Amino acid sequence: MYPSDYLNRLIFGTKIETILPGRCLTVTSAANSTAIFISGAQITRPDLYIGDHVIIHGLQGFISHVSPYSCSMDKMTSLNLPHPNPAMALNRVMLAEAMIRLRVSGYSVLALAMRIKYAELVTLHNMTIFAVDDSTIFHGGHSYVHSVRFHIIPNQMLKLADLESLPVSTVFPTLESGETLTITTPGGGGVMSPVRINYIKIKYPNLIYNSKLVIHGLASPFPHLRQSIAVSTGRSGFYPITSGEYGSGVGDSASVDVRQSTEPAAPSPVMKSVVEMIDDIHQGL
């Protein structure tokens, strides 16, 4: 979804892939003006209609025929992405829209990671992604680059209200095989007691969302919780936390014994180059 104020912030010449595979529209603007043009046609009635899943802008005139080569220009501003199946058109558009919004919002590393792993992400029904901004990554949050998959919950779209409605110790699978995330502080406490996952507060809930995904902003990467489960509870996806470094826990202490260490890895003091970070993203995905 592209409201007019968002279109105004896009880089001149940004290409947006349409629902027709391999066809892109080009967003431009007039110098010293707020006028926006979509493939040469000016938006004269911005935000004509805004719904939950649809935004309609009024154009002056028609958009000319879009060439099959319309997405093949500058790859840094183009959303020409591979699509294994035409049925995934909506997923493709929603991912592309999210990547553009991440890039202009200071989350370029995550946008790059999503582009690298696009072929896998586009096959998911929906997803919940936890993001760390570029500034935090370059100032001590390097572990996020190595574990982007650990910050993605596949096939579940969980907005803040959904997370706050879940009980403490609810466990979510991640794209990282064998790794899970755990609600460690229940929601519903507002600003004074926000929901926490792996003991990390969600700093910017519902940062970006559309019909296929929701992205929450974090102040720091998630630490890995080392869990030792003595006896299964028999309840899928729910591990009550009974003891650990953070004092007495909650849940059925007779059923489960969970020991946790939430100390994140010490950040590297050496600033990595962009090339090295791209290599790390490939490894982390």
Number of domains in the chain: 1
The mean per-residue pLDDT over the stretch 8-29 comes to 80
Q: Output the pLDDT for position 268.
A: 39
The mean per-residue pLDDT over the stretch 230-257 comes to 34
Q: Output the pLDDT for position 159.
A: 94
pLDDT band at 280 (very low <50, low <70, confident <90, very high): low
Q: Is the pLDDT of residue 25 over 60?
A: yes
Q: Output the pLDDT for position 184.
A: 93
Q: Output the pLDDT for position 146.
A: 87
- Does residue 203 belong to any structural domain of this protein? no
Q: Output the pLDDT for position 69.
A: 67
Q: Which residues pair with 191 in a beta bridge?
A: none
- Does residue 38 belong to any structural domain of this protein? yes
- Does residue 63 belong to any structural domain of this protein? yes
Q: Is the pLDDT of residue 20 over 90?
A: no
Domain assignment of residue 61, given as a range: 1-80
Q: Output the pLDDT for position 64.
A: 66
pLDDT band at 85 (very low <50, low <70, confident <90, very high): low
Q: Which is more confident, 168 or 61?
A: 168
- Does residue 29 belong to any structural domain of this protein? yes
- Does residue 166 belong to any structural domain of this protein? no
- Does residue 102 belong to any structural domain of this protein? no
Q: How far apart are CA 24 and CA 95, in angstroms?
A: 15
Tell me which residue of 205, 174, 207 sits closest to 191, measured CA to CA. Answer: 205
- Does residue 168 belong to any structural domain of this protein? no
Q: Output the pLDDT for position 173.
A: 96
- Does residue 91 belong to any structural domain of this protein? no
Q: Give residues with Cβ within 8 angstroms of 248, minimum separation 6.
A: 242
Verdict on whether the full-model pTM lies above 0.75: no
pLDDT band at 175 (very low <50, low <70, confident <90, very high): very high
The residue type found at 13 is G
Q: How far apart are CA 90 and CA 112, in angstroms?
A: 20
Q: Output the pLDDT for position 148.
A: 94
If one counts every other C-beta atom within 10 angstroms of the C-beta of residue 45, the result is 12
If one counts every other C-beta atom within 10 angstroms of the C-beta of residue 15, the result is 25
The residue type found at 168 is V
